[in-house]
Amino acid sequence: MKIAICQLNYTVGDIEGNTLKILDAYNKSVADGADLAIFSELSICGYPPQDLLDYPHFIEKCGQALSQLAEITEDTAMIVGCPVYSQLEMGKKLYNSAIVLRHGKIHEVFSKTLLPTYNIFDEYRYFEPNHEFKLLEFNGIKIAITVCEDLWDLDEPKLYKVSPMEQLKPLGPDLLINISGSPFSYKHIENRGELMRQNALKFDIPLFYVNQVGANTDILFDGGSMFINRDGVIAEELEYFKEDYKLVNWQPDMSYQSHSHNYKNDDIALIYNALKMGIADYFGKSGFKKAILGLSGGLDSAVVTAITADAIGVKNVLPVLLPSKFSSDHSINDSVALCQNLGMHYETIAIKDTVHSFESLLEPLFKNTQRGVAEENIQARTRGNILMALSNKFGHILLNTTNKSEAAVGYGTLYGDMCGGISVLGDVYKTQVYKLAQYINRNGEIIPQNILTKPPSAELSPGQKDSDSLPDYDLLDKILYLYIENLLGPEAIIAKGFDAAIVNKIIKMVDRNEYKRFQVPPILRVSDKAFGIGRQMPVVGRIN
């Protein structure tokens, strides 16, 4: 039996485009003599469709696309993902389904049982869980068909009361298929392969796992679809961070060689590739071609420039140097050196006069006050205004360069350097940004060495350094990680040996800056716990 694993990059809501992609891959599988072509979760509408699912006309359009796909099927079957009405008299209206299309019609529907509703997932918002367990009989083979989370219940304690595979195994399946929309995280990729292996081993069954690839705004999908033999051997693995297709000639009693991984098991390389894909798809799927960003001479904007150049091409990135009277010579020189290393055109716009104009305007109200955050922010917002004016005039999208450490403690100016259409580094701690820079320089200097070695500074007041306001990033990031990723409270963090005053100060800063994070652009998500929809905290209220 020949099974085609079709790993595609879908666009949320683009039913027509997604259907055409599915059709192309299906036609290829037919030409290859496949018996079955499998596509990922909610492939027709793209994942995650969010509240588009609340619109009846959207569900109808999905249904029409499904019927059109069904009509062209002949002996080669396909399994696609689509929301379908439940037809039940009670409960949520929709199922998240894997639908078998064959011989010109909708052959059979299998729906998702386990609906993840935590972190970035909110499937119980839309879907009714499946309660009917059955196998697909296909050319004499019995196939268990599951959707994503349905296989993610091996860990103790159990999050779900029903185990789909415990229900399906007694029915005697020969083969297990899982259609998935499993987001990337640099912590997740290894776990996912291992979990799928454990499923194959535990239920003594060969497993075809098909994931989507590509970015839908902030949520990144890395692909890495697999065929795993019943002995837990990963026999086939599709590419990461790109579309792929693989025809597997599967025989019930055949044994398979282990396949070496298609990804480098290196957090920083994974993050780099994920961000590159995230940027490319943000532009590709929104129809914009060109990016603009402010180049400060610091690490973050340098790293964003380099990754974006790799993602959408050097010619499509416009860095703008916006020196103020506090900008050091090295900021300008380092930025210029970066652009030269990349062969990239840049613009320079000195903001001094405009900042001065603001200060004159405000002088009557500001007189007798001390220079401080207000004056610093005027500079950052003047830069934001200039970058947005260029964006509005020429159609570039502004990239936000705030890193996760800054976003966490609110070290940034709302409507200033926190502007942008998409945040590239908002889920990357500063200590990781350093490593990204080293990764970018792995084959020769792109990011000038001085950017890596000089002390970080916002350069909004004379001689300012990040370390004036913040602990060293090594220490800061450790504490932030324990608070944000590990969900430890201040007492538990202090109990790990950190200084109580520093821990309390940092956690207060994180809590107090929810209002800033509420207004940041979508953040490309690379970790298990990113700011955004996956971490919903009160803006007004007391947290600790």
Residues 52-71 that bind a copy of itself (CB under 8 A): 52, 54-58
Q: Which is nearer to a copy of itself, 3 or 42 (CB)?
A: 42
Closest approach, Cβ 533 to a copy of itself, in A, equals 7
Q: Which is nearer to a copy of itself, 89 or 253 (CB)?
A: 89
Number of Cβ atoms within 10 Å of the Cβ of 327: 21
Amino acid letter, 158:
K
Residue 539 within binding range of a copy of itself, rule CB under 8 A: yes
Closest approach, Cβ 336 to a copy of itself, in A, equals 18
Rounded distance between C-alpha atoms, residue 124 and residue 537, angstroms: 20
Is 41 noted as a catalytic residue in this protein? yes
Of 353, 350, 352, 346, the C-alpha closest to 295 is 346
Residue 515 within binding range of a copy of itself, rule CB under 8 A: yes
Is 148 noted as a catalytic residue in this protein? yes
Tell which positions 206-225 bind a copy of itself, by CB under 8 A.
Answer: 215-218
Rounded distance between C-alpha atoms, residue 458 and residue 278, angstroms: 26
CA triplet 320, 406, 219: central angle to 5 degrees? 85
Catalytic residue among 41, 236, 406, 514: 41
Q: Which is nearer to a copy of itself, 24 or 518 (CB)?
A: 518
What is the sign, positive or negative, of the torsion defined by CA atoms of 21, 24, 28, 29? positive
Specify the 3-state DSSP secondary structure of 384: helix
Residue 31 within binding range of a copy of itself, rule CB under 8 A: no
List the one residue from 64, 104, 249, 518 that touches a copy of itself (CB under 8 A). 518
Of 527, 506, 526, 509, the C-alpha closest to 517 is 509
Residue 367 within binding range of a copy of itself, rule CB under 8 A: no
Closest approach, Cβ 193 to a copy of itself, in A, equals 25
Closest approach, Cβ 498 to a copy of itself, in A, equals 15
Question: Which helix (H) or strand (E) segment is 60 a member of?
Answer: helix 56-72
What is the sign, positive or negative, of the torsion defined by CA atoms of 154, 245, 85, 103? negative
Q: Which is nearer to a copy of itself, 372 or 455 (CB)?
A: 372
Question: Which helix (H) or strand (E) segment is 36 a member of?
Answer: strand 36-38
Closest approach, Cβ 510 to a copy of itself, in A, equals 12
Count of CA atoms in the C-beta half-sphere (13 A) of 488: 17
Rounded distance between C-alpha atoms, residue 326 and residue 41, angstroms: 52
List the one residue from 125, 261, 315, 465 that touches a copy of itself (CB under 8 A). 125
Residue 344 within binding range of a copy of itself, rule CB under 8 A: no
Q: Give the residues across from 398 on adjacent strands.
A: 292
The interface region with a copy of itself, picked from 64-72, 90-98, 191-199, 289-297 by CB under 8 A, is 90-98
Catalytic residue among 6, 62, 82, 112: 112
Q: Which is nearer to a copy of itself, 393 or 444 (CB)?
A: 393
- For the record, the structure tokens of 300 come out as 């973050």
Q: Which is nearer to a copy of itself, 157 or 343 (CB)?
A: 157
Residue 489 within binding range of a copy of itself, rule CB under 8 A: yes
List the one residue from 491, 495, 496, 499 that touches a copy of itself (CB under 8 A). 491
Closest approach, Cβ 143 to a copy of itself, in A, equals 27
Amino acid letter, 420:
G
The bridge status of strand 317-321 relative to strand 291-295 is parallel
Number of residues that bind a copy of itself (CB under 8 A): 95
Q: Give the residues across from 100 on adjacent strands.
A: 79, 108
Q: Which is nearer to a copy of itself, 365 or 501 (CB)?
A: 365
List the one residue from 8, 79, 409, 419 that touches a copy of itself (CB under 8 A). 419
List the one residue from 41, 244, 281, 528 that touches a copy of itself (CB under 8 A). 281
Q: Which is nearer to a copy of itself, 132 or 353 (CB)?
A: 353
Residue 329 within binding range of a copy of itself, rule CB under 8 A: no
Residue 381 within binding range of a copy of itself, rule CB under 8 A: yes
Count of CA atoms in the C-beta half-sphere (13 A) of 102: 19
Closest approach, Cβ 150 to a copy of itself, in A, equals 16
Say if residues 288 and 316 touch (Cβ distance below 8 Å): no
The bridge status of strand 94-102 relative to strand 77-85 is antiparallel
Say if residues 152 and 114 touch (Cβ distance below 8 Å): yes
Amino acid letter, 417:
D
List the one residue from 269, 388, 502, 509 that touches a copy of itself (CB under 8 A). 388
Residue 469 within binding range of a copy of itself, rule CB under 8 A: no
Burial 51-63 (b: 16+ CB within 10 A, else e): ebbeeeebbebbb
Catalytic residue among 45, 62, 148, 419: 148
Closest approach, Cβ 411 to a copy of itself, in A, equals 14
Is 169 noted as a catalytic residue in this protein? no
H-assigned helices in 103-154: none
Closest approach, Cβ 517 to a copy of itself, in A, equals 11
Of 192, 203, 255, 252, the C-alpha closest to 226 is 192
Tell which positions 158-217 bind a copy of itself, by CB under 8 A.
Answer: 158-161, 215-217
Closest approach, Cβ 46 to a copy of itself, in A, equals 7
The interface region with a copy of itself, picked from 184-192, 193-201, 230-238, 484-492 by CB under 8 A, is 484-492
Residue 384 within binding range of a copy of itself, rule CB under 8 A: yes
**325 secondary structure, DSSP code:** T
Phi/psi at 513 (5° precision) = -105, 20
Specify the 3-state DSSP secondary structure of 56: helix
List the one residue from 31, 74, 87, 89 that touches a copy of itself (CB under 8 A). 89
Task: Indicate which residues carry an active-site annotation.
Answer: 41, 112, 148
